[in-house]
Structure 1
Amino acid sequence: MGTYGDQVRQALLDSAEELFVTFGVDAVSNRRIAEHAGNSNHSAVSYHFGSREDLVRATLLRYTEDAGARRRELVGMLGPEPGLRDLLSCLVVPFTDQLASMSVPSWRARFIQQLRTVPSMVATVAANAISDPVVDDLIQRVRAHVSDLPDSVYTGRSWLLGRLVVDACADYEARLAREDLEPDWTGFANFLIDACAGMLEAPVTSEGDFLSARGASVWA
């Protein structure tokens, strides 16, 4: 169940995520986050998280352990010679499963999407990126499946895939909130995996170094 302090922190994180998505990270004050969480102490955010950057970091990383555990579980289920889709599943499904576990409306995918596009938050996201050896290994195994791709093409497509997964999940999350639909995150995950595999295996007609300077990564 958690302590009262844990419950307060959770409520503040929920409030911050929703308000950041609705109004923008830079437009929401700590006081407004506390009020939206039903907390009469307007300094609650500072008390529980410290700085504004610490709040954003806590919101960004709040599900990291759960996603990591799910990914390790999926990797443990792989056969001796997994195919490209099997490896991509281990990268995509922990995120879509996380979204599936949330009530509608959820804000998670749209929050991550926003952090990657708000200039004031880009440095915060980069500074708090956590290296996961399981993810690193999966990415290397994915690369081995498309070893014929030139490095610049693979890096550029990886950059596109990272945006595709987050942006598509954010769009689907918003649609579920807007329309009376039964969520199907499992089906959506399979749709994304198909799209990712198709992009990686697509023919190469141009080998220009178009996106590698952007620091592309499949699951950053």
Structure 2
Amino acid sequence: MARTSGIETRDKLIRAAEEIFAAQGVDGARTRDIVRLAGQSNPSAVQYHFGDRGGLLDAVMAGRLERTEAALTPLLEELPDPDLEDLVRALVTAEATQLSDLRGLRCLRISAQLSHESGIRTRTPHPTLAGTAYWRLIERIESSLAAAELPEPIRLERTDLALTLIGAALADRARQYLDGARPLTTEPVFLADLVTTTVALLRAPAPKQGRTAE
């Protein structure tokens, strides 16, 4: 039997993790199922290659982010002076490239469960997002809300909610594709509506009453 290299084994574990995390959920997935699906006989394979289960999840998300970055970077280069809608459309368009293949569909199901971990609420990016075009875009979206004179806590919270909305919507679309269900709308209409809905959320007026976080 031909031996596989460490790089090949690592890739097999990542692809198996994408399938298991998507099917069982990030919290419900069992490491032994990932190891078995990857065709590995060593039960400590995940620990050896990634340190722990969390390291494997980070590797899955790093690969997913790399593919999104490849789509996002040229979109932003074409927007020298974007407004809020331009920024949201670039984000949705880049994320939607994951709808085109099985691997992307699974990763959309996974990342929706982690959208609240971006770090925008504290302005501290998750390690996988630090220094990326994705993180800079999130910051630009949040800072563009300052023109509406929204208090900073509301700007940060809304940006986080917008990421959650986009992630959940794309994950649900991915679920429909994976299940073979027929969506209510075509993909272009769905994406255009997602941009419009997200921008409306971000541009909503500040509440007239109520306390923000100290």
> 2-side partners of 1:88 and 1:74: how far apart?
11
Name the residue aligned to 2:160. 159
Q: Are the equivalent residues in 1 in contact too, given 2:88–2:199 (CA < 8 A)?
A: yes
1:86-110 Cα distance to aligned partner (Å, 9 max, x none): 121222222211x123228932122
Q: Say which SS state the counterpart of residue 166 (structure 1) adopts.
A: helix
Name the residue aligned to 2:122. none
> CA offset at residue 193 of structure 1?
1.2
1:28-72 Cα distance to aligned partner (Å, 9 max, x none): 433221112233343332332232222121122122223223222
Name the residue aligned to 1:121. none
**Structure 1 segment 55-70 matched on structure 2, within 5 A:** 55-70=56-71
Name the residue aligned to 1:94. 94
> CA offset at residue 163 of structure 1?
1.1
> 1-side partners of 2:170 and 2:109: how far apart?
8
Q: Are the equivalent residues in 2 in contact too, given 1:12–1:45 (CA < 8 A)?
A: yes
Name the residue aligned to 2:82. 82
**Structure 1 segment 64-213 matched on structure 2, within 5 A:** 64-78=65-79, 80-97=80-97, 99-103=98-102, 106-115=105-114, 128-132=127-131, 134-135=133-134, 137-139=136-138, 141-142=140-141, 143-144=143-144, 147-151=147-151, 152-181=153-182, 185-206=187-208, 208-210=210-212
> 2-side partners of 1:127 and 1:103: how far apart?
25
Bigger drift between 83-92 and 198-207 goes to 198-207
> 1-side partners of 2:126 and 2:202: how far apart?
28
Sequence identity, in percent?
28
Quick one: structure 1 residues 30 and 90, their matched pair in 2 at CA, closer, same or farther if it must change by over 3 Å? same
> 1-side partners of 2:175 and 2:95: how far apart?
16
> 2-side partners of 1:95 and 1:194: how far apart?
16
Quick one: structure 1 residues 70 and 105, their matched pair in 2 at CA, closer, same or farther if it must change by over 3 Å? closer
**Structure 1 segment 16-31 matched on structure 2, within 5 A:** 16-31=17-32
> 2-side partners of 1:195 and 1:127: how far apart?
26
Q: Which is bigger in relative contact order (C-alpha 8 A, separation at least 6)?
A: 1
Q: How many residues align?
A: 202
Q: Are the equivalent residues in 1 in contact too, given 2:72–2:94 (CA < 8 A)?
A: yes
Q: Are the equivalent residues in 2 in contact too, given 1:153–1:207 (CA < 8 A)?
A: no
Q: Which runs of 5+ in 2 are unaligned?
A: 118-124
Quick one: structure 1 residues 164 and 74, their matched pair in 2 at CA, closer, same or farther if it must change by over 3 Å? same
> CA offset at residue 129 of structure 1?
4.4
Q: Are the equivalent residues in 2 in contact too, given 1:89–1:193 (CA < 8 A)?
A: yes
